[in-house]
Structure 1
């Protein structure tokens, strides 16, 4: 009879393999990158997990069997239920989400930040904001951004890896037990922050592109790192356009300042769009009103495209829904038929051609008059 499966947590995904940190004596006690990886097993996933539709994510609690201790290999055979999931980047069992944006290089875009916050709010866990590269702006402007974001309903910390500003406060936040995810656009300094908090990690970083003024992708996959006993932080690849929710009715719940107004005076109608409709208690004059309107229009357009069977009409933005994104429609006259369609057409024409060749009425089928 085989050994009992061992419990652990997925700390990274590498191609078709999972890096699993086992519980108990095998789990490393230090906070350095080398000791952390030394306590992990490189594991495959049993086929039945894939066939059952169970996708393994970083942060998942799993059970491992068939362990080869010498090669430090194993196989993930079980997946425990999750209490939360951040869809992009995909991290399970998240305790809080820390959205990192730079105040400069690249500059802070309120709409882009809002899209990240909407994604973070979908986890149902606490969401915080970190303003990186605070040394690149005057202190008064940084404080103004902090006050503005706190007005949105988010605890905000301004940090600088050069001056050390805010690092102690951020270290205190990330030292709380559980999994914290650092997410945000490329080039805002997520890996640099982790290097400042835990120098032994030595994560790869790169400067912002001088021509495009956009971040370069230096983090290629999500990975958990220990920063304190019981506290893990996920460093994630940067991306610039997070997806919005599919249901327009759920969008308002991702704006804490809007919910605060609704708690004071609820709207008359449950399906209110909060866009100045009669009886709407939200009213005008709140900071992200225009941003909320833009997001709502995009979500409603995508929902309308799905209700038409995924086919957008020509002349109506020229878009169609393809999975979770909108794609431009191609003029039917410009479409090329597939090889299989062309082959079927030739096969249909072939019998007619053969019949013509064998017909006695053809001039070249007459017998030689000589």
Structure 2
């Protein structure tokens, strides 16, 4: 990996809103050159303006992550205008909030093409350029739902599970070939992003992230750290992610019954869904309106995640734990 003092070339899909937008800001503050890939013109323009204002170089490109040829063309343009790609971050997605039997087959296909194949295509495009140089890192923005599916989000959960399996397979192949190109995945908690205002929904009430809710800046910090330290297989963000993944491993049946009882209400506010809200399934919701990084839940979201520090310092924590055990052993021996 390049030292962060050297200008990085970073590509972010889904860069016009939410986690992608917050991540673009974080890299811009470091003076990176940031290629912003998304579909909506207004969102992209606003994101590019922010990157420039914060000290980075911006290259906004309108592209659908489900279109491999378009992504490949975008990557060629990026390297021509900004230089060799150091970091590629896959974050673009769409979804449908509805019980599975209310999701039309063409909708499920579209979610899969964007939210899963978009990651596969982005990864392939990045590797086509990184492998000949034997340099680069790819970060897959994941979710606790990559391990634990929840009701009303079958297409999204399926995509995240698929990314998980794909990423593990690719990671082992790169290890086998002893390449200095790395892939890692960041498993996110519920985040306050605009998706709840523009994802297609057939729910009776307005969709919401399942509390506790984290601000997108927390997610962005984790993505930047993963890009700088891609040797780890994955990172878990937020205590809720840790709790969910541990519960799914050890008490999956109990967790299923809990989700069956609470999963519908916890994903909806008390307010009725606006039938005229924008949708980004087929067309960008931010073509004419910039939604930014944050959703509607600032008053219920936290900008702190102590667990994130622990996730980034496993070695230090393990050493401290071993030290405490050793001290306890010495103390016990003295008492004897």
TM-score past 0.5 threshold: no
What TM-score, normalized to structure 1?
A: 0.32
Select the structure with the greater relative contact order (CA < 8 A; seq sep ≥ 6): 2
More helix by share: 2
TM-score, scaled relative to structure 2: 0.35
More strand by share: 1
